[in-house]
Amino acid sequence: MSQDEVILRRFETGDADDVWHLHRSASEAVGVYGPQGVWEDDLRNVGEVYIASGGDFVVAHIGSLLAAMGGLKPVDDDVAELKRMRVHPAFQRRGLGRRILSELESRAVSLGFKWIALDTTTIQVGAQRIYETAGYIRRAEGMLHGYSVIFYKKRLARRDDC
């Protein structure tokens, strides 16, 4: 397998430590980093919080390295929240964020969701660009965990809409 070949798949239990480390290193790299807290408990139990709840969580590997990840967490029958989109700093600006986002949108449609909601900090300009070019609309701004954030939402195209 080529070092640059990307393997995109659903989270497995053996990914747990790599997911945690990617979350912390990617967050620190963009300046969104604080003491560990309950707001990160979902990453200690990805299988239950995301997959067993009716959402999903995907990881992208390049070689043996976890390069990117993201999850869908059900809010209600129609809305999934996009959470924990992270790309390893060494693999940024290669389209991995867009690939994860596209995969999660496809999975959300398959799971029957009509909307995806998300938030990102105002300092994460790269993330804002990805979401806005993918059709996400800014709905509001506010504060979460001490950070200024932007709330986005997107209506998903169902297969029968195409």
Q: Tens digits of per-residue pLDDT, 125-149?
A: 989 999 999 999 999 999 987 889 9
- Predicted confidence (pLDDT) at residue 4 exceeds the cutoff of 90: no
pLDDT at residue 134, as a whole number:
97
Cα 158 from Cα 162, distance rounded (Å): 7
Quick check: 34 and 88 in contact, CB under 8 A? no
Cα 64 from Cα 75, distance rounded (Å): 33
- Could you identify the residue written with the tokens 């959300």? 108
pLDDT band at residue 37 under the 50/70/90 scheme: low
Other beta carbons less than 10 A from residue 47's beta carbon: 15
User: 6-161 has which fold?
Assistant: Aminopeptidase (3.40.630)
Domain ranges of the chain: 6-161
SS3 state of residue 61: strand
- Predicted confidence (pLDDT) at residue 47 exceeds the cutoff of 90: yes
pTM: 0.90
Quick check: 92 and 126 in contact, CB under 8 A? yes
Long-range contacts of 103-106, Cβ-Cβ distance < 8 Å, separation of 24 or more: 103/8, 103/58, 103/70, 104/56, 104/58, 104/70, 104/71, 104/72, 105/134, 105/154, 105/156
Residue 125 tokens read as 């300009």
pLDDT at residue 35, as a whole number:
57
Q: Show Cβ contacts of residue 76 under 8 Å, excluding neighbours closer than 6 positions.
A: none
Q: What is the mean pLDDT of the chain?
A: 90
Lowest mean pLDDT among 34-48, 79-93, 147-161: 34-48
